[in-house]
Structure 1
Amino acid sequence: MSTEPSRERLPFEPRQKRKKNPKAQNSSTNPQTTPKEKPSQTTVKQDKKQDKKQDLPRAASKDSMAIPDVVSKRMVRRMGLMCGIPSFLGIATFVVSYLLITQVGVELPHVAVIMVSMGCFGLGVLGLSYGVLSASWEEDIPGTFFGWQEFTTNLGRLTSAWRAAKTKS
């Protein structure tokens, strides 16, 4: 029994138990040898290989793994804001510092300009991650303005998936 509270599965979240492929089931029911013949050693090995292949979980279909369009647009909108604003400020740092040095005559240290622009670009990179995680992954729920509640929920889902994958391997 899991310690995690029961929750509904997201539309694009893969199922834990995957169904077997119907083609693989049909191939195992059709015998390769006739009843009169004794199966050779190679056909027995092939049957064992097919049985092993059937036991392996199949990849989920593309439709079940796809992110719904509403959720995808919500993520892109948040990523654009959370990454676009700091990236714009990083570029604007160079333009403003150039104008201050050439037009006004202010002496700015080169290191200060680079550090400020690097900080803005770094915030842009963090904004990409925050934009994806702060968007509501539920189709019907739009989420909050800043998305802190959604961020904590989605980060919890992400870390639990990492832990589950780590224990499997």
Structure 2
Amino acid sequence: MSSKPQRDHSSAQDSSAREALPFEPAKSRKQVEKKASTKAKKTPEAAPNKAEKSARTRTPVSAGIPDSVSRRMVKRMAVFSGIPTALGMSTFIVSYFIVSRGIYDLPTYAVLLVSLGFFGLGVLGLSYGAISASWDEEAGGSLGWSEFTTNLGRMTGAWKSSRQEQRDAAKKS
């Protein structure tokens, strides 16, 4: 027999009695208390809300990233981020070898700049790996440049329209 205590999963009605987290804003605490009090007033046979309806109608395919797409993303992220990161770490080893053998006296800032450059390329590789993957299960080349340009264009278009909407809302207020 296990001596582990079982966790008590409290319902939404008990959420108002819970302790507030230290970083939780006061506004959200009030909202949680208000939601809990309104849920307690409802009858148990109330009609399901929109979130419950959409959860029932959601299919597993539309619920997340397809497996083939996620594998493609991970492969590209590993290659385009892993190689520069490994080079960034090997910079320290190679520079130590060069300095300790007296081959050349490397300045420390040169080692720092080269390693930072490789680590920066690793971060860019992570972003490229995620953005360059097409969400079509069958589509996608080995490097994904065409998907990257398409997705980057969509992102910049969304940013521009969001910025324009904010400007329009500021003018109206």
TM-score under structure 2 normalisation? 0.58
Deviations 1:127-163 (A, max 9, x none): 00001111222111132x3221110111123334445
Q: Which whole-Å CA distance do the structure 2 matches of 1:121 and 1:62 have between them?
A: 39
The residue aligned with 1:152 is: 149
Distance in 1 separating the partners of 2:91 and 2:119: 11
Q: Relative contact order, CA 8 A, sep 6+: which one is greater?
A: 1
Please state whether the residue corresponding to 2:137 is helix, strand or coil.
coil
Q: Deviations over 1:12-64 (max 9, x none)?
A: xxxxxxxxxxxxxxxxxxxxxxxxxxxxxxxxxx8xxx9xx76xx96894832
Say whether the 8 Å CA contact 2:81–2:122 is kept in structure 1: yes
Q: Which moved more, 1:127-136 or 1:87-96?
A: 127-136
Structure-2 residue corresponding to 1:89 = 87
Q: Which residue matches 1:126?
A: 124
- Structure 2 residue runs without a partner (length 5+): 1-41
The letter for the 2-side match of 1:158 is: M
Identity over aligned pairs, percent: 51
| Counterpart-to-counterpart distance in 1, 2:90 and 2:133 | 27
1:74 counterpart residue number: 72
Question: Structure 2 matches for 1:11-160, cutoff 5 A?
Answer: 61=58, 63=60, 64-143=62-141, 145-160=142-157
Cα RMSD after superposing both structures: 3.6
How does the TM-score come out when normalised to structure 1?
Answer: 0.59
Q: How many residues align?
A: 123
Unaligned runs of 5+ in 1: 1-45
Pair 62,156 (structure 1): closer, same or farther in 2 beyond 3 Å: farther
Question: What SS class does the counterpart of residue 140 from structure 1 fall into?
Answer: coil
Structure 1 runs of 4+ aligned residues shifted over 3 Å read: 57-63, 159-169
- Structure (1 or 2) with the greater helix fraction: 2
Which amino acid letter does the alignment assign opposite residue 111 of structure 1? Y
Counterparts of 2:58 and 2:121 in 1: how far apart (Å)? 36
What residue identity is the alignment partner of 2:144?
A: G
